[in-house]
């Protein structure tokens, strides 16, 4: 809120703004003095914002849908068709679940990403490959939704599994 401090010192600052998802998630009364708020990934939230307390898991609106494309029982791993070009490397794999959360499967870890593929394994024990047949879908919750959203040319908005709209993001700076 540096613009407000400038105004308090008598320095001309016609627009005071802030850019912060945590601030928008937990606003303070002083924010009423701002002319602009740039909340970053507030529209989607993500695993990072959940970890710092800006939101809860139920509040995260962004997902990346991926398919199981390979079973590697000798490595206790599955291959998926989602790599860093769909998800980003922003977390550096440091989440307890690797590069993303696998929705509905807390025992799965996305352990590695190449450009177009990912590798998933069990956090403990053996994978039940029958539970994840080839072609089945998994829903990934990204670590950082801004980086993930930047990778996609269209967003599918859905309610109860039915696509109700498509959004095309503005690209470029």
Share of the chain above pLDDT 90, in %: 57
pLDDT in tens, 50-83: 998 989 999 999 999 999 999 999 999 999 999 9
Domain annotation for the chain: domains and CATH numbers: 2-38 (no CATH), 58-167 (2.40.37.20)
**Each residue of 22-44: b (16+ CB within 10 Å) or e?**
ebbbeeeeeeeebeeeeebbbeb
pLDDT in tens, 21-35: 888 888 888 888 888
**Each residue of 46-82: b (16+ CB within 10 Å) or e?**
bbbbbeeebbeeeebebbbebebeebeeeeebbbbeb
Sign of CA dihedral 87, 93, 94, 97: positive
pTM, entire model: 0.84
Given pLDDT bands bounded at 50, 70 and 90, which one contains residue 3? low
């Amino acid at each position: 809120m540096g613009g407000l401090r400038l105004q308090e010192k008598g320095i001309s600052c016609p627009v005071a703004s802030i850019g912060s998802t945590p601030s928008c998630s937990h606003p303070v009364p002083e924010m009423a003095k701002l002319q602009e708020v740039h909340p970053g990934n507030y529209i989607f939230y993500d695993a990072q914002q959940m970890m710092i307390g800006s939101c809860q898991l139920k509040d995260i609106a962004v997902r990346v849908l991926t398919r199981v494309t390979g079973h590697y029982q000798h490595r206790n791993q599955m291959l998926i068709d989602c790599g860093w070009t769909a998800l980003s490397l922003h977390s550096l794999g440091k989440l307890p679940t690797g590069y993303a959360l696998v929705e509905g499967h807390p025992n799965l870890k996305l352990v590695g990403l190449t450009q177009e593929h990912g590798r998933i394994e069990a956090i403990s024990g053996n994978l039940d490959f029958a539970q994840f047949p080839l072609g089945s879908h998994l829903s990934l919750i990204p670590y950082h939704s801004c980086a993930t959203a930047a990778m996609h040319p269209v967003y599918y908005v859905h309610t109860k599994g039915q696509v109700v709209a498509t959004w095309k993001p503005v690209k470029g700076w």
